[in-house]
Structure 1
Amino acid sequence: MSVRPALTLATTFSKATDGKPATYGLELTNESTEAIRDFTLCFVAPTRVDLDAVFDNATMQRRSSNFVEIAPPAGFVLEPGGRWKASTASLGRDLRHWSDGANAAYLAFADGKTLPVESRPTTLTGDNAPLKRGTEPFPVPGPGKSPAPISVVPWPNHVAIEGARDVPAGLAITASGEAQTAADAFADLARSLFPADALVRPVEEGGLSVTLVTGAGQKPEAYRIVFGDEVTVHAAGHAGWLYGLVTLGQILRGARRHPLTFSFPAAGEIVDAPAFGWRGSHLDVSRQFYSTGEVEQFLKVMVWNKLNRFHWHLTDDEGWRVEIDAYPELTRVGAWRGHGLPMPPLFGTGAARTGGYYTKAAIRQVVALAETFGIDVVPEVDVPGHSFAAITALPWLADPDETGAYYFHDNFPNGCLNPAHEPVYEFVEKVFGELLELFPSRTFHVGADEVPEGAWEGSPLARAMNEEIGGTGSPAKLQAAFLKRVQTFLTANGRITGAWEEAAMGGGIDKEHAYLVGWTTIEVSQERAEEGYDIVIAPGQRYYLDMANGAAWSEPGASWAGWSGPEETYIFQPGGDWTEEQKKHLLGVQACIWSEHLTDRAIFDRLVFPRLSAIAETGWTQAERKSWPRFRAMAGLLPNLYGYWATE
């Protein structure tokens, strides 16, 4: 072809009406001057069509998870200016938001060549509301209308301030010894998040003198700020000084940008300490890959919110993202998706080879940066489920005599490591062994979620093992046996085993050397705490930040767990009705950023912010000190990651 065709794909969703099923429609338009023939249309979308989907005016050639390939009727020619329409009612789940539909597409030809197709946002029949992207810009109240005189998120637990002084131009920090590392970390943080604000500057440039001093008897993350002609920050160590400086930076920035709404105190004190020890955010880098630079910037946003755990979800079905010397195929094969590759295009990626992984040098760089910010990096390698990328890269991980196929939510076939296949354990121990050298965290997360019913039923090895351990056909006992063996390895290496709540099934793992992340419902988390498991709260209904902000079609995101706007996320308070014994096992809270729907960075900013800050305040501020009107008044001053802000 001498001219590169201009092709567009428009998709529509029509809800079920009058006995007619819901329908997903596709319309491919040829805006070039050349006819196109003998092609198939490949597209990806978060909402999957059924494995055996039937299309009107098209034939499905292949479906692999979210990747779909369809062909027009035999002999069809897409003439210049022509259109080809197809539709299907074979949907695993109805589309509920504009981001549910096709977000990448291309044409494929028998000779291996491809042509790109511009995929336009999916429209809902009868709905023409503008589509929303970017963080909602909560307005700062006008003069005299703020619920608080200073701007701080998370809100401190004791504020006793007096008066207001002329707002200083910046902070001139004096420190020595260990305190100097905290001062340097804050200076780096302020420069990176707000480069033009120059929050840190010398006295000669108008900086207010701030001295870091050692406060005897304080807990590691606690701090005390004393205001006067000069300011002192008292803390027992690095984290306390850093958090105290973050609070000062927020107060200064709010007063400088909105001097008629917020002030800088003339006298008094702030005494502060966190409500929970675990205040975290998870990030899924398998479905969407985020560069080292993006991860580092995200860590800086985290510390501005006084979050202290970064749960790094490094592997899943859709991608393996960490370098392993023993198995270079994991990244050579499992880190890249594209047309004709073992891993197909998924979640916004088209024909081109796309993806990436973190080298060991990059991991060490991120971990070192996190340490300067008081953030513990918790790695996750998701096993035994969600292992399609690993098995694709290393086919010998599967039982060679296994027959048939099982799926989780009709995703990838046979994507779980087999607990009865001995080579699996050598693989796990080699991978974990290399990662233990990179991550000093006491906790190592092993996944353990969403192994589907029917897993390993076609494996003679698994059937024999299940019979030996008294299983009933369910995979729960097989997974439990697998996890106990993996936990023994981690415990011997001095680590706490982290897992999703399913790790308690089938007999569970050793409670003394484990913690669970509760994600399905708060009631299940309470049950796990009652059983004696330490638990981190991350319910999908409120703390999964891939869920949409609202029910409207114009909002991007998922909705299988419902929707949760910033206010709903903020007012949720875990553990309020728990017994005192149950509360002893409540470690804290965690946001979960799953990336299936985050196919562009403006969607990321809309879904993550300011809800990440809402969760951060729940993790830090005592429940009785929380206030949605106050938080809303300050949310507009909080940073997002990419700088995308919604416009009405």
Structure 2
Amino acid sequence: MTIQPKSALRLQTHWTPAIEDESLAYSLTLTNLSARPVSGFKLCVNGPGRIDPEAMVEGGSLTARLSNHSELSPPDGFVLEPGASWTVTARGLSYPLRHWTDGANTAYVAFADGTTVPVSVAPTQAKGDNAPLKRGAEIYPVPHVAPVPVAIVPWPNSVSVSGRVAVPQGLAIEAKGDEAKAAAAAFAELVEGLFPVEGIVRPESEGGIPVSLVVADDFASEAYAIRFAGDRVMISAATRSGLLYGLITLGQILRGARHHPETFLFPLEGEIRDEPSLGWRGTHLDVARQFYGTAEVSRFLKIMAWNKLNRFHWHLSDDEAWRIEIDAYPELTRIGAWRGHGLPLPPLLGSGPERTGGYYSKASVREIVALAGRLGIEVIPEIDVPGHCYAMLQAIPELRDPAEHGVYYSVQGFPNNCLNPAREETYQVLETILDEVIELFPYKRIHVGADEVPIGAWSGSPKALAKLGELAGADVAAVHAKRVNIITNRHNADEIDGSGAAVLQAEFLRRVQAFLASRGCITGGWEEAAHGDVIEKEKSFLNGWRSVEVSAALAGRGYDIVVCPGQVYYLDMANSPAWSEPGAAWAGWSEPESLYDFDPVEGWTDEQKRHFLGVQCCIWSEPMTDRGVFDRLVFPRISALAETGWTRPERKSWERFKALAGLMPILYGITAAA
């Protein structure tokens, strides 16, 4: 059935929290604004919030549900007349809605003949909260009087400058030798990408101040010094990265003085000496839930470099999509990279009925990795296994145990989403994939995920149960077999330590890490990779995401740890508990000041700190269909994280940071309404 115009159907959604004796209510009202009646349809909706499969539904029925994609049908024989509305209310969700982005953000109606009609969707409203909805980065205004005379983020170790000169029009860089020339070229590429019309790099004939680059041996690998001497500047460092960081600092000083001459100056004389506090200063980007094109990733890398971040954790696969080209298995991207109505992967997290998605060709990956290398950033790819593999298994279904029966669910509501650790075919396929991945990423650090395996995983697989019996005994296998068809998690990831699922995952990781080690690679994993203590600690690292206490305990057991607790460093979490803020809330919320002040090793012993690699923020993409939401959630918090990674704790100052953060670039340039 065809309905015209496109906006002839409208969806409004409302959220009412549970109060007293009344259960929560998530109500969806479809209104027919056309001149024709509509019948024989299903309402298909998706967004971060998930209707529980066992929820009581009033006014209709939940006829299909995969994670956050739900299909709701009206009663038999129902006709939605012109001008009329139909309301269906769900009395159960996988978690309560807490922010406006939690509700449905895409909807369409589907008919039995396979046709679909888009539905316009208004942001979900919450009972009792009518505040204007927020999107776009909140830019801190630069004050007339700042705590410091020069604009630099993250703040250096030592700044000793005085006097001022007329602000130069740009920087005329003098580079001799391969390292200096490479640093100068990388800086020119960086500022051309971030500030294309400012002419930060320009010759003396156009007003550029001479800047000489000097390679000197007496610096640590990322350290540098800048010396101001009237009409020229000298930057010294031992490496290309050090020289590049010196140029970035100088570029920030120039931009601050140019854009806010009443607040900041360009020094006449003096010196800045600097090096990072931590070696690992990272950002994770989930490109599976939402796809970001090569141009977006490239600009994001440039913003990372401007913040002196040096690790890019690229989350390339998950339940919702597979995003990297693999020659041996073209179906991974042919099937796993696309979502749409009637496809193996339905619309999810804001994607509509049309075929949408994308993946990175090998040429694009090489382009991105090369750019990152020029900017001093190491790229760490993540292929998330053995859990979070729904998309992969849709593309290669023969990886399943053909005798497996029953269902288990991940916390995100995906059924039977784990690679089977008892089948040799699993390792043959995965090793082939990893060999192709290794060839693309020269730093030899490969992340394999290992997070959020459901406690019921493989409980209906005869192959897995037999393997579990070999590894842990018949009694453990018998207990695990009883978990089939039992929904074990709805609100938090299962704690699987000591379970049959943990034993099987440990065997899987033992095999995978041994393979990666044979290829000269270090294996990365989320903290769950420590289950069973089977991975070689000298050839691995973990991302600690639950809490600082968990990370400290793992460090105490000898694991190298990158600290990224969800409560603080997950940038998909909202900036405040207000409904009007976008973002998630399952781990809490963290305003920029809280993130800035957070101590990632509070309470750690000296022995635990020996295994502290550094810090990383994580950008999970569930709420970020709207790129204005991305800008609001990521900026300026990414710069706050960067200062924690670079600046010594005793030299940090929130008031100084707040005065300078407004000069930092944002990805999409979407700012909050004043």
TM-score (norm 1): 0.99
In structure 1, what residue type is equivalent to 2:589?
A: W
2:526 equivalent among 500, 515, 521: 500
Aligned to 2:438: 436
Aligned to 2:219: 218
Report how far residue 196 of structure 1 moved.
Answer: 2.1
The whole-number CA distance in structure 2 between the counterparts of 1:573 and 1:618 is: 8
The whole-number CA distance in structure 2 between the counterparts of 1:635 and 1:508 is: 43
Aligned to 2:316: 314
Aligned to 2:325: 323
1:607 equivalent among 603, 613, 633: 633
The whole-number CA distance in structure 2 between the counterparts of 1:355 and 1:417 is: 23
Aligned to 2:33: 31
Aligned to 1:237: 239
Report the 3-state secondary structure (helix = DSSP H, G, I; strand = E; otherwise coil) of the residue aligned with 1:636.
helix
Report how far residue 519 of structure 1 moved.
Answer: 0.4
The whole-number CA distance in structure 1 between the counterparts of 2:668 and 2:398 is: 41
Aligned to 2:495: none
Aligned to 1:103: 105
Aligned to 1:198: 199
Aligned to 1:588: 614
In structure 1, what residue type is equivalent to 2:213?
A: L
Deviations 1:477-532 (A, max 9, x none): 11111101100111111110000000111233110100000001000000010000
Report the 3-state secondary structure (helix = DSSP H, G, I; strand = E; otherwise coil) of the residue aligned with 2:585.
coil
Aligned to 1:450: 452
Q: Which moved more, 1:403-412 or 1:378-387?
A: 403-412
Q: Which moved more, 1:251-260 or 1:575-584?
A: 575-584
Residue 559 of structure 2 corresponds to residue 533 of structure 1: yes
Report how far residue 410 of structure 1 moved.
Answer: 5.2
**What aligned pairs does 1:148-227 form with structure 2 within 5 A after superposition?**
148-177=148-177, 178-227=179-228
In structure 1, what residue type is equivalent to 2:188?
A: A
Residue 564 of structure 2 corresponds to residue 562 of structure 1: no
CA RMSD of aligned residues (A): 1.0
2:470 equivalent among 468, 471, 496: 468
Report the 3-state secondary structure (helix = DSSP H, G, I; strand = E; otherwise coil) of the residue aligned with 2:663.
coil
| Contact 1:51/1:410, CA 8 A, preserved across alignment | no
Q: Which moved more, 1:332-341 or 1:2-11?
A: 2-11
Residue 295 of structure 2 corresponds to residue 269 of structure 1: no
Report the 3-state secondary structure (helix = DSSP H, G, I; strand = E; otherwise coil) of the residue aligned with 1:115.
strand
1:578 equivalent among 604, 607, 613: 604
Aligned to 1:337: 339
Report how far residue 3 of structure 1 moved.
Answer: 3.2
User: Structure 1, unaligned stretches of length 5 or more?
Assistant: none
1:519 equivalent among 545, 548, 561: 545
Structure 1's 359 and 121: CA in aligned 2 closer, same or farther, altered over 3 A?
same
Report how far residue 313 of structure 1 moved.
Answer: 0.3
The whole-number CA distance in structure 1 between the counterparts of 2:383 and 2:590 is: 28
Report the 3-state secondary structure (helix = DSSP H, G, I; strand = E; otherwise coil) of the residue aligned with 2:108.
strand
Report how far residue 425 of structure 1 moved.
Answer: 0.3
Aligned to 2:574: 548
The whole-number CA distance in structure 1 between the counterparts of 2:67 and 2:410 is: 10
Aligned to 1:65: 67
User: Structure 2, unaligned stretches of length 5 or more?
Assistant: 481-498
Report how far residue 576 of structure 1 moved.
Answer: 3.5
The whole-number CA distance in structure 1 between the counterparts of 2:197 and 2:253 is: 17
The whole-number CA distance in structure 1 between the counterparts of 2:255 and 2:406 is: 61
Structure 1's 57 and 159: CA in aligned 2 closer, same or farther, altered over 3 A?
same
Deviations 1:527-554 (A, max 9, x none): 0100000000100011000000000000
Report how far residue 563 of structure 1 moved.
Answer: 0.1
Aligned to 2:664: 638
Q: Which runs of 4+ in 1 moved over 2 A?
A: 1-5
The whole-number CA distance in structure 2 between the counterparts of 1:297 and 1:53 is: 43
Residue 513 of structure 2 corresponds to residue 487 of structure 1: yes
Q: Which moved more, 1:16-25 or 1:477-486?
A: 16-25
**What aligned pairs does 1:246-285 form with structure 2 within 5 A after superposition?**
246-285=248-287
Report the 3-state secondary structure (helix = DSSP H, G, I; strand = E; otherwise coil) of the residue aligned with 1:9.
strand
Report how far residue 2 of structure 1 moved.
Answer: 6.7
**What aligned pairs does 1:298-447 form with structure 2 within 5 A after superposition?**
298-409=300-411, 411-447=413-449
The whole-number CA distance in structure 1 between the counterparts of 2:223 and 2:523 is: 27
The whole-number CA distance in structure 1 between the counterparts of 2:319 and 2:90 is: 26
Deviations 1:563-607 (A, max 9, x none): 001001110021143222111110001110000111110000000
In structure 1, what residue type is equivalent to 2:80?
A: L
Structure 1's 610 and 75: CA in aligned 2 closer, same or farther, altered over 3 A?
same
| Contact 1:3/1:34, CA 8 A, preserved across alignment | no
Aligned to 1:49: 51
| Contact 1:449/1:500, CA 8 A, preserved across alignment | yes
In structure 1, what residue type is equivalent to 2:203?
A: P
Q: Which moved more, 1:11-20 or 1:488-497?
A: 11-20
In structure 2, what residue type is equivalent to 1:588?
A: G
Deviations 1:189-229 (A, max 9, x none): 11111112211111111111111011222111100000112
Structure 1's 52 and 590: CA in aligned 2 closer, same or farther, altered over 3 A?
same
The whole-number CA distance in structure 2 between the counterparts of 1:34 and 1:139 is: 52
In structure 2, what residue type is equivalent to 1:637?
A: L
The whole-number CA distance in structure 2 between the counterparts of 1:149 and 1:3 is: 60
Aligned to 1:3: 4
Report how far residue 84 of structure 1 moved.
Answer: 1.0
Aligned to 2:483: none
Report how far residue 53 of structure 1 moved.
Answer: 2.5
The whole-number CA distance in structure 2 between the counterparts of 1:442 and 1:227 is: 39
Aligned residues: 646
| Contact 1:61/1:71, CA 8 A, preserved across alignment | yes
Report the 3-state secondary structure (helix = DSSP H, G, I; strand = E; otherwise coil) of the residue aligned with 1:209.
strand
State, as a whole percentage, how many aligned pairs show the same letter: 58
| Contact 2:438/2:444, CA 8 A, preserved across alignment | no
1:618 equivalent among 615, 636, 644: 644
In structure 2, what residue type is equivalent to 1:585?
A: H
Report how far residue 19 of structure 1 moved.
Answer: 1.2
Q: Which moved more, 1:623-632 or 1:409-418?
A: 409-418
Report the 3-state secondary structure (helix = DSSP H, G, I; strand = E; otherwise coil) of the residue aligned with 1:481.
helix
The whole-number CA distance in structure 2 between the counterparts of 1:484 and 1:607 is: 37
Q: Which moved more, 1:47-56 or 1:497-506?
A: 47-56
Deviations 1:54-106 (A, max 9, x none): 31111111001110001112222112221111111111111000000000000
In structure 1, what residue type is equivalent to 2:526?
A: W
The whole-number CA distance in structure 1 between the counterparts of 2:393 and 2:543 is: 25
Report how far residue 182 of structure 1 moved.
Answer: 0.7
Report how far residue 40 of structure 1 moved.
Answer: 0.7
Report the 3-state secondary structure (helix = DSSP H, G, I; strand = E; otherwise coil) of the residue aligned with 2:641.
helix
| Contact 2:558/2:611, CA 8 A, preserved across alignment | yes
Residue 536 of structure 2 corresponds to residue 510 of structure 1: yes
Report how far residue 176 of structure 1 moved.
Answer: 1.9
In structure 2, what residue type is equivalent to 1:161?
A: V
| Contact 2:9/2:120, CA 8 A, preserved across alignment | yes
The whole-number CA distance in structure 2 between the counterparts of 1:609 and 1:352 is: 31
| Contact 1:186/1:242, CA 8 A, preserved across alignment | yes
Report the 3-state secondary structure (helix = DSSP H, G, I; strand = E; otherwise coil) of the residue aligned with 1:242.
helix
Report the 3-state secondary structure (helix = DSSP H, G, I; strand = E; otherwise coil) of the residue aligned with 1:413.
coil
Aligned to 1:295: 297
The whole-number CA distance in structure 2 between the counterparts of 1:410 and 1:624 is: 41
